[in-house]
Structure 1
Amino acid sequence: MRTLLLAAVSALCLTACSTPQERALKQQADMDRIIIEFGPACVRLGYTANSDLWRNCVLQLSTKEEITRYSNSTYLYGGWGGHPYWGGGGRWGR
């Protein structure tokens, strides 16, 4: 049992460590996914594909989508929204 646990922990540590080249490849894969997902929308908005303005549009749409997707996650864990003074209700709420 101890050997199995040690092997599992070692494998986890090795996969958690990545080289700069591996991180660059992951970032490139993420950027390719973002371009596939948001590129056509930016072309429909009137930006010329692969121009600087188009790339800016792609990044802005991606950022907006991430903010929308993850913005309420802190509320579940007692973020600022849960405190009456910071807008969570109560006598000082909005």
Structure 2
Amino acid sequence: MRNVIHIIGVLALALLATACTTPQERAARMQAEMTQLIAIYGPACAQLGYAANSDPWRQCVLHLSTREELQRMGNASSYYGGWGPGGWRGGGYWGPYW
């Protein structure tokens, strides 16, 4: 439950931040984010055998960052959305027999 509230809060802040910025500011922020992702995951993709600054290398960078982000989210992305304690297995807020 705490993760869901945290994710909703982060998404709300991101939406609010994008609503108050110009397209140029958003592009600059996205460029800075991509530069950070390349600095973090680029060496790992190069070690995996991808040629630096190639399209497969860029896809590798995005794949590794997405994978880590999904791991941080944990159970919030379970089959039924992860609502309630235990996700769909525990019945969550809907109960076990809905």
Q: TM-score range by the shorter chain?
A: 0.5 to 0.7
List 4+ stretches of structure 1 deviating above 6 A.
none
Aligned residue-pair number = 75
| Structure with greater helix percent | 1
- Root mean square deviation, CA, Å: 3.2
- The answer (yes or no) to whether the contact 1:80–1:88 under 8 Å persists in 2 is no
Larger radius of gyration: 1
TM-score with structure 1 setting the length: 0.65
CA distance 1:74–1:63, shift in 2 (3 Å): closer
- Percent of aligned pairs sharing the same letter: 57
- AA aligned to 1:87 is R
Structure ranking higher on relative contact order (CA contacts 8 Å, 6+ apart): 2
Q: For structure 1, which runs of at least 5 residues remain unmatched after alignment?
A: 1-12
1:35 and 2:17 aligned: no
Write the distance in 1 (CA, Å) between the matches of 2:34 and 2:86. 37
Report the Cα offset of residue 69 of structure 1.
Answer: 1.0
Q: For structure 2, which runs of at least 5 residues remain unmatched after alignment?
A: 1-15
